[in-house]
Structure 1
Amino acid sequence: MKASKMHFKFSAIALATLTAFSAQQSQAAQNEQDDADKEPEVIMVTGLRNSLGMAADLKRSSDLVVESIVSDDIGKFPDSTTAAALQRVPGIQVVMGDNNEVVSPLIRGIGDILTTLDGREIFTGVGRGFAFQDLPAEALSGADVYKSNTADLTQGGVAGVINLKLHKPLNFKEGVTTALNARIFKGSNEDSPSYATGALVSNRWSTSSGDEFGALLNVSYSDINFDRPVSFNCDPRSGSNGPAGGDGVILPTCVGGVSQYGDYQRPQFNTALQWRMPSGLELYLDGIYTEYKSRWESDFVFSDIFAAQSITNKKASTNCAQYSIDGAGFYAAENGQLQDLCIAESATFNNVPGLSSTQAKDSGTDQYLIATGARYKQDDYELDFDVSYQRSHTHNRTIIVDIGKQIDKVDVVVDAGGYGTTTMPGDPLSVADDFRFANGLFQDLNDAVGTMFAAESNGKYFLQDSFLKELQFGVRYADRESVFRANAPGGPAAPGGNRVTLVDSVGLPDDFLIPSPTSIPYINGGQKWMTPDRDFLLDHTDVLRDIYGAEPGDPAWAPERNYDATEQTLSAYLQGKYATEIGNFYVDGLIGLRATRTSRDLTGTGLVRPAPTDANPNPAAEPTTVTNSTSETTLLPNVSARVELTDDLQLRVTAAKTISQPAFGDLNPGLTYEVPLNANIRPNGGGGNPELKPQKSTAYDATLEYYFAPTSYVAAAVYYRTLNDRVMAQTTTETIDGIEYNISRPRNAADATLQGLELSTQMFLDSVFKDLPSALDGVGFMANFTLADSEITTDGDPLEGEPLQGVSKYSYNLGLLYENHGFTGRMVYTFRSKYSEALLNTIRPVGAGPQFNMVKDTGRLDFSLAYDLSESLTVSVDGTNLTGNKYYSYFETEAFPHDVRDDEKTIGMSIRAKF
């Protein structure tokens, strides 16, 4: 047999073992003496080099285009979070969350990803996606990123599928295995350290009759502090339509900053039981529980500069053009006033309303999944059956109190090197005197529960001496329910009117106003300001409601935000795995078809206009219960081929169709908005679109992979994907009761293409080059580069020719690796180029196309260095974002920055023990 075929079979066995499938046993193997002579085949991954080698073997032997991450050891994933580890994968891009966590992995720039846990679909709340940060990395044995599709994968991800894999007891050696880990780290914006800890205990034992048993328990807990300061310019506006002295320049509507500060905790545990019998039957029971809970705050410091009495010290830039402007100074699509305007560099605003605001938030998620099933294996076939139930509950409670005072003047620099700065001479907002209640008491509460019952069965029938080597088949049924409840955002008006009643005149405690917990470097030179106390807002809301003239208790759920959804999905697939020799080449691959039928009912409340009558020819729209029912059948074919050109070089080509259903929240017909109290700011709102269609895609991939040494390879891939009915958010101006609102709604942005190139490599020098200096033993590197070129292609679409939102054209990772003399180290730089984040409804030069909120290039340097004190004990140090990367965005042109967000640097230490 060819060496390449031998390698393929070995890799396939390794893959099977890693995912808790045992090697096949023949009936003759039940002989007691034979059993005594056999050692169970178990793969224990230890060390950086072995984990990278296992990942390379998985990539090489797979029928799909897949990238894998394998934990270095028990409880040791390559990064401290799942999403952070995934960003090292070629083609994966990520974003930073408000709490400084790496979140939302994107595959080649697209976020429509189906997430599975040990092959079972998993989601958070009522969404389609999964909050990766809610599953601690310590719980994982590995993760697979599928960029191409096959019939046996659960449908639902236009971009691809990410499968997260938990540890299983029969993957460990016989006996008791124990692993402990603890990590402490500190962020550059934080005074207090954070910590994470975990423990795994697994036992594997067997009986004299040949039965094998396994039991595993894994627990973890983290307590994380965070602080993420942000400075912003509000949307651009013509100064010619603003305060006196602003003629001829474009200025921010408002300026300010926000400090996002708090802490969160994440307890987690998972367990697994396995019973494997000599007959080939295996029974199992799995369970996992994760929780996220956080009390945090967004503390705003803000100046409504377009309500100033006058503007002085105006300085214009050379960035000038002609604009079409409406009466308020915003963009006019039709019949606007033509104005010649230059973007301002800086200005002073005199006699300005200043604002301080605390958005106190109590957020949480609790989620569990239980599953049981059986696998049965014989020489010529395999069967399995799995049934699971999951429940995901999210809740969010936000209480906002705004306070304000008049400020003598505000100095604004629009662009101070990619961001704006705001200075209020004398720091008037740092003094507690003369603050008055502004706006209303804002309460935003929501509660969401998503459940799913799923049952599936899969099988393989192995054929001998034929072109078709395996016949794969399966069926899956999923019944999902989603319930979302929320109040109408807003609340009772400020006591006595806007900015009338003094805060210190209503009997609140003396410490109701406190210095902001943190500061913002770009606001008042980093000085703190007075703001309402977060804990008082959350714990004494009824006291506030009484002051604002409202009844005690939480506001009622609002019909226009609520919805109930049920969805049933039935799918079946048939797939053949073939293998043959064509000339001197070994060729194998898959040909399959998955058929799926989805039926959905969603009930919400929309604004429906009654039929006109003679008495009322133009009736106002009224809130009306609306039920939208849809069903559709989709066929998803796939075909792939892998050609072994030499023992170490292989070519892979794939083609497949995929589908992604709309998010339930996007289908909700409701519309929410808040009647504005400030005439100088255009109010916002949002709504759903019950007419959204599923997104569909056809994807083509070709890869060339060269495995030239153990753990070492170089690979190149090209891909082309068509996207149909892509969902995008769009903001348009809508007039409601005579007031203009910026309303954001999702829509199918018709068709688009995504194409590009991926290059990747990893190697250890001593496995490739002989007679290296001893200092280079154990030195390795990894690198990958992705080009993603996207374009909306539908004729006549307002965004025709524009790239897809959120897609960076270039991204890459460069990593230095080391493992020798007890040391294990990684240093990785991760980069993604600029991308558009949202479509704007803002002023633009005459003749200009759509305007986007753009995000600048970002790059982060992370490292870790571990040392084995003994075979059982390892200590390590690690750091993230050592380059101090910040998020910078701008309104279409870099001359008008939007915001800057300070992502933390972290330095930490950890200790791991294994017995």
Structure 2
Amino acid sequence: MNYRKSVLSAAIVTCLGFTAHAQAQDAPPAQEATELDTVIVTGIRGSMEKSLDTKREANSRVEVVTAEDVGKLPAHNVADTLQRLPGVNISSSSADEGGFDEADRVSLRGTSPSLTQTLINGHTVGSADWFVLSQGNNVGRSVSYTLLPSELVSSVEVHKSSQAKLPDGGTTGSVNIITRKPLQFPDKITLEGSIGVVNAEQADSTDPQLAGLFNYRNDDGTFGVMVQAFSQKRELRREAQEIPGGFFQIGATDAAATTNPALVGVWAPGLLGSTLFEQTRERKGGLIDVQFKPNDSLTLGLSSFRSDMDANNYNRNFMLWGGNFARAQAPDAGYVVKDGVLTQATYTGVAGRDYAVYDMIYREATAKSSYTTFDADWQINDNLTSRFQVGTTSGEGSTPRQFIAEVTVGSGGGASWTSHGNSAPLDWSVGGDISPAGVTSFGTWGNQQVTAKDDEDWFTADFTQYFNSGVLSSIDFGARYADHTREAQSPEGASPGNIWAALQNGATASYPSGFAGNIGGNFPRNLWYFTPAALKDAIINNSTWLSDNDGPTGRHNYGGEWKVEEKNFAAYVQANFTGESWSGNVGLRYVDIDQDINSYQAVSDPANADVSSLFGQWIRVFTNNQHSRVLPSANLKFNLSDDLVFRFAASQTQTLPDFSALGASSWGSDLNRTGGGGNPNLNPVVSTNFDANLEWYFVPRGLLSIGAYSMNLKDYVAFGTQRQMLFSELTNQLEEYLVSVPINSNGKVTGVELVYEQPIGENFGINANYTYADGSTAHTWANGSNDLLGTSKNTYNVGAYFENESFGARVSYTHRSSFLIGLSGANPYYQDDFGTLSAALSYKVNDHLSFTLDALNLNDPSITYYQSATIPTAFYSNGRQYYFNVRLKF
């Protein structure tokens, strides 16, 4: 048991024995709250004013986005909305699925998304991902925003400084998504809905978008019920050049180096891909919320939310197979090596040698998220209020079937490539017959069911004692207990039969005309592929799907399974203070975590195995960790004048390591002999945080602010590499892989935030913000850098709006500089500078009818990944998206 009270906590308690009257979300006496609940904010100007008012009145460092109207955030996607706030970064993926057109993860102040906690109405939400690697091998603690439609949101709070009463788990801060409540609506009956379409320019598809709301509130305001529903579909098409696994180094013992010693240690592409990804996302669900006030001092609430997304997808990757020939054969004379990279090479064909490999992967995929909560707000007496909540939440991501064909082509035809650094795709080609008739071998792999489950049950009890005199305005205290389970399952797979005999004459189709024209480069584009139906039928009709009941002869992938169980008890006390021109709070939160981790380790001798199947033999590994800690926090706010506010905050915060970092069994990729795994002995990340900010509210809806922050991350999770023996499905035996393994290190981030918001006359306005983040870790990556995951040194947003009684328009541009994503194989890789332009138009015919048009990615940006200045990793193009909606209100 590890129990510590830090020097910082003692200093805060001793020196800061004062701070804050109620922050924005502190509950005042019930009679005041009832009056405030009737305020409804509409329009761009109204939402900006409400957001600034909430930010100004709060005692902690908080950013707020308020919906312009029911179901109308300033952007179609919740994460896209948040990225316009200072200190907020977004990314479009959680693992190795590559860059997409929609924001999916949110992070704060130059850190990874796992260090930012996302809550809904102050409680956790079970999350899930549709991508198979995010379901098993790379599972963080962040929440997928693709399951959270913007229509449900009333406002979003981004907490940058901690308070004792906030749930622990967000080292760098937390995002709290707030939904509407039935008794907040001013009218007895409210009916609203939107009927619209989304047009994906690159996918050349237009699909329906439907959402509706019904709310009933009785005349006495003692009972209300709200029902919201949504059904939204959209098509995606991503066109790319990918270099899966990155570049590799030619070894001294490789045949190419024995004839050309100058090639020893030179980097070459293992795979160069011409990649077409298509997906259909269908999201359906809704929210039901019921409130009942049996008397003036008690409000009961029941809320239930569910979001289900079908996300079937087809990825085709036709690849030059450098890993198959660049070690075995030296390039022709005239090759070029620059900065240790083989930037230009031509290989004369060798009979019987394959120069290309082609993967066609069709996956059925789903992602689900849900929660149910019951809460009671009880005003015990005039000065003591309480809130009790019991809830359950669940997330599930599943890939029940994978239909995969891998063929080799280009036999004896040779290959060539020319690299242009990380700023442009490689030019490459392969010779020989690359048509279906030129297939030299066929394989199917990974036809394995993968399911990820994320469940939590919790109970909270919160109290506030108000005082009528003195600087101590109130005391918050309470406790929370949560039982959380995250697991990856892979119990069933398929033993392939003679699939190729059925597939080789199956229906084919061609890559779209103009494929990858937006990213440039000269590489194969006029390519064929088996249709999803042909691929699926051939595999289903010629495979034996085996379940767990088949025992040692079955395809139960124990190596892809793990489970993390966490029991979390927390208790807190927070004192809130107010003076004539100052306010603030100081508090302590005690956290006790009991963690059980179950995983599997590969062994070569069946006699030593606990379990076995066609995938090999394993022993079970059980680890128990216990972590106890006191987390102090303090926030100070000084009203230097009527329009000038200064804030200071200090705290310690904690986040547990990613679930897969703790639990994942080691896994490997046979194409490049690299892989990853977990480390159950990781410590939590503990951050010591300081924050200062000066805010000048020089006019209504106007703000000029400057702030600085620092985060000292103890036991930050980085990744090292080691050699491990893992089971290979290709050879049916243990093989050596270079595996990335999470390790504890230390890290730090310091930065500056600047904000400017200015109304111009009654109808116009502009806004801009800039964030500088300098992050580093004590860990040295394989490329010699000390970069912190997720740190973009420079992030900025600029925007402008116009609004009158009928017409509204908004345009914004967001830019984020390069940042470290993670490891590609064993090599660190980065996302390059990225900027996106969006616009929104609205026209209000009357109080009942309006039209909106949201345009995303108007600049049609490419997303570029790279390993170094001379080694690219991927180039993605997703195209523009347009959302048109007719909004009805009754």
1:859-887, Cα deviation, whole Å (9 max, x unpaired): 11111111112222111222111122111
**Structure 1 counterpart of 2:834, one-letter code:** T
Aligned-pair distance for 1:410?
3.2
- Pick one of 830, 834, 837 that aligns with 2:814: 830
| Contact 2:398 2:452 survives alignment (8 Å) | yes
Aligned-pair distance for 1:662?
2.0
Report SS of the residue matched to 2:846: coil
Report SS of the residue matched to 2:355: strand
Match of 2:30 in 1: 24
**Structure 1 counterpart of 2:646, one-letter code:** L
**Structure 2 counterpart of 1:316, one-letter code:** V
Q: Does 1:781 align with 2:757?
A: no
Aligned-pair distance for 1:825?
1.2
Match of 1:369 in 2: 371
Match of 1:896 in 2: 871
Match of 2:840 in 1: 864
Match of 2:362 in 1: 360
- Structure 2 unaligned residues grouped into runs of 5+: 1-18, 129-138, 609-615, 727-732
Aligned-pair distance for 1:696?
0.7
Match of 2:886 in 1: 911
Q: Does 1:883 align with 2:859?
A: yes
Structure 1 residues 131-170: aligned runs within 5 Å: 131-170=144-183
Would the alpha carbon gap of residues 217 and 719 (structure 1) be closer, same or farther in structure 2, given more than 3 Å must change?
Answer: same
Aligned-pair distance for 1:607?
4.3
With 90-99 and 690-699 compared, the bigger mean Cα shift is at: 90-99
Match of 2:16 in 1: none
Following the alignment from structure 2 to structure 1, what is the Cα–Cα distance between the partners of residues 251 and 165? 59
Match of 1:456 in 2: 460
Would the alpha carbon gap of residues 520 and 438 (structure 1) be closer, same or farther in structure 2, given more than 3 Å must change?
Answer: farther
Would the alpha carbon gap of residues 344 and 523 (structure 1) be closer, same or farther in structure 2, given more than 3 Å must change?
Answer: closer
Following the alignment from structure 1 to structure 2, what is the Cα–Cα distance between the partners of residues 89 and 886? 23
Match of 1:672 in 2: 667
Q: Does 1:387 align with 2:363?
A: no
With 643-652 and 41-50 compared, the bigger mean Cα shift is at: 41-50
Report SS of the residue matched to 2:482: strand
1:559-614, Cα deviation, whole Å (9 max, x unpaired): 23322333211111111001123xxxx1110010011111122222224799x99x
Following the alignment from structure 2 to structure 1, what is the Cα–Cα distance between the partners of residues 422 and 585? 53
Structure 1 residues 493-572: aligned runs within 5 Å: 503=500, 506-508=501-503, 510-516=505-511, 519-521=515-517, 527-538=525-536, 541-545=539-543, 556-572=555-571
Match of 1:437 in 2: 441
Aligned-pair distance for 1:387?
0.7
**Structure 1 counterpart of 2:835, one-letter code:** G
Report SS of the residue matched to 2:274: strand
Report SS of the residue matched to 1:59: helix
**Structure 1 counterpart of 2:445, one-letter code:** L
- Pick one of 264, 289, 298 that aligns with 1:272: 289
Would the alpha carbon gap of residues 544 and 410 (structure 1) be closer, same or farther in structure 2, given more than 3 Å must change?
Answer: farther
| Contact 1:731 1:841 survives alignment (8 Å) | no
Q: Does 1:447 align with 2:451?
A: yes
Question: When the two structures are superposed, what TM-score results if normalisation uses the length of structure 1?
Answer: 0.83
Would the alpha carbon gap of residues 251 and 394 (structure 1) be closer, same or farther in structure 2, given more than 3 Å must change?
Answer: closer
Aligned-pair distance for 1:347?
3.8
**Structure 2 counterpart of 1:785, one-letter code:** Y
Match of 2:488 in 1: 484
Report SS of the residue matched to 1:882: coil
Report SS of the residue matched to 2:796: strand
Aligned-pair distance for 1:250?
4.4
- Pick one of 597, 603, 615 that aligns with 1:602: 597
Report SS of the residue matched to 1:574: strand
Report SS of the residue matched to 2:164: coil
Aligned-pair distance for 1:909?
2.0
Report SS of the residue matched to 1:49: helix
- Pick one of 202, 206, 219 that aligns with 1:189: 202
Would the alpha carbon gap of residues 310 and 609 (structure 1) be closer, same or farther in structure 2, given more than 3 Å must change?
Answer: closer
Following the alignment from structure 2 to structure 1, what is the Cα–Cα distance between the partners of residues 882 and 395? 33
Match of 1:62 in 2: 58
Match of 1:101 in 2: 102
Aligned-pair distance for 1:411?
3.7
With 797-806 and 93-102 compared, the bigger mean Cα shift is at: 797-806
Aligned-pair distance for 1:342?
5.4
Aligned-pair distance for 1:425?
7.0
**Structure 2 counterpart of 1:394, one-letter code:** G
Report SS of the residue matched to 2:660: helix
Following the alignment from structure 2 to structure 1, what is the Cα–Cα distance between the partners of residues 74 and 416? 46
1:769-796, Cα deviation, whole Å (9 max, x unpaired): xxxxxxxx411111110000012247x9
| Contact 1:671 1:687 survives alignment (8 Å) | yes
Report SS of the residue matched to 1:231: strand
Following the alignment from structure 1 to structure 2, what is the Cα–Cα distance between the partners of residues 113 and 641? 23
Report SS of the residue matched to 1:645: strand
| Contact 2:22 2:28 survives alignment (8 Å) | no
Match of 1:475 in 2: 479
| Contact 2:568 2:593 survives alignment (8 Å) | yes
Report SS of the residue matched to 2:448: strand
Greater radius of gyration (CA): 1
Structure 1 residues 327-338: aligned runs within 5 Å: none
Aligned-pair distance for 1:204?
1.5
Following the alignment from structure 1 to structure 2, what is the Cα–Cα distance between the partners of residues 22 and 870? 36
- Structure 1 unaligned residues grouped into runs of 5+: 1-7, 30-37, 321-340, 496-500, 614-620, 767-776, 843-850
Following the alignment from structure 2 to structure 1, what is the Cα–Cα distance between the partners of residues 792 and 117? 21
| Contact 2:756 2:767 survives alignment (8 Å) | yes
Question: When the two structures are superposed, what TM-score results if normalisation uses the length of structure 2?
Answer: 0.85
Aligned-pair distance for 1:59?
0.8
Would the alpha carbon gap of residues 307 and 510 (structure 1) be closer, same or farther in structure 2, given more than 3 Å must change?
Answer: closer
Following the alignment from structure 1 to structure 2, what is the Cα–Cα distance between the partners of residues 415 and 493? 41
Match of 2:743 in 1: 747
- Pick one of 235, 239, 254 that aligns with 2:247: 235
Aligned-pair distance for 1:494?
9.1
Structure 1 residues 42-81: aligned runs within 5 Å: 42-81=38-77
Aligned-pair distance for 1:555?
5.5
Following the alignment from structure 2 to structure 1, what is the Cα–Cα distance between the partners of residues 424 and 44? 40
Match of 2:222 in 1: 212
Aligned-pair distance for 1:738?
8.1
Match of 2:3 in 1: none
Q: Does 1:727 align with 2:694?
A: no
| Contact 1:239 1:250 survives alignment (8 Å) | no
1:500-530, Cα deviation, whole Å (9 max, x unpaired): x9x4xx2447434433467444576663422
Match of 1:845 in 2: none
Aligned-pair distance for 1:734?
3.9
Following the alignment from structure 2 to structure 1, what is the Cα–Cα distance between the partners of residues 341 and 367? 47
Aligned-pair distance for 1:801?
7.1
Following the alignment from structure 2 to structure 1, what is the Cα–Cα distance between the partners of residues 783 and 585? 37
- Pick one of 569, 588, 610 that aligns with 1:593: 588
Aligned-pair distance for 1:127?
5.3
Would the alpha carbon gap of residues 809 and 297 (structure 1) be closer, same or farther in structure 2, given more than 3 Å must change?
Answer: same
Match of 1:257 in 2: 274
1:323-360, Cα deviation, whole Å (9 max, x unpaired): xxxxxxxxxxxxxxxxxx55424545535522222111
Would the alpha carbon gap of residues 379 and 255 (structure 1) be closer, same or farther in structure 2, given more than 3 Å must change?
Answer: same
Aligned-pair distance for 1:743?
0.8
**Structure 2 counterpart of 1:235, one-letter code:** F
Q: Does 1:815 align with 2:790?
A: no
Match of 1:632 in 2: 627
1:256-303, Cα deviation, whole Å (9 max, x unpaired): 222111211100200111123553211111110111111111111112
**Structure 1 counterpart of 2:656, one-letter code:** Q
Q: Does 1:714 align with 2:690?
A: no
1:345-380, Cα deviation, whole Å (9 max, x unpaired): 454553552222211111112222111121123431
Match of 2:674 in 1: 684
Identity percentage of aligned residues: 22
Would the alpha carbon gap of residues 412 and 342 (structure 1) be closer, same or farther in structure 2, given more than 3 Å must change?
Answer: closer
Match of 2:685 in 1: 695
Would the alpha carbon gap of residues 542 and 40 (structure 1) be closer, same or farther in structure 2, given more than 3 Å must change?
Answer: closer
1:801-825, Cα deviation, whole Å (9 max, x unpaired): 7220221011010011111252111
Match of 1:86 in 2: 82
- Pick one of 401, 404, 407 that aligns with 2:408: 404
Following the alignment from structure 1 to structure 2, what is the Cα–Cα distance between the partners of residues 54 and 486? 48
1:23-48, Cα deviation, whole Å (9 max, x unpaired): 6339xx9xxxxxxxx98851111100
Would the alpha carbon gap of residues 735 and 432 (structure 1) be closer, same or farther in structure 2, given more than 3 Å must change?
Answer: closer
| Contact 1:158 1:658 survives alignment (8 Å) | yes
With 179-188 and 653-662 compared, the bigger mean Cα shift is at: 179-188
| Contact 2:461 2:478 survives alignment (8 Å) | yes
Report SS of the residue matched to 2:560: coil
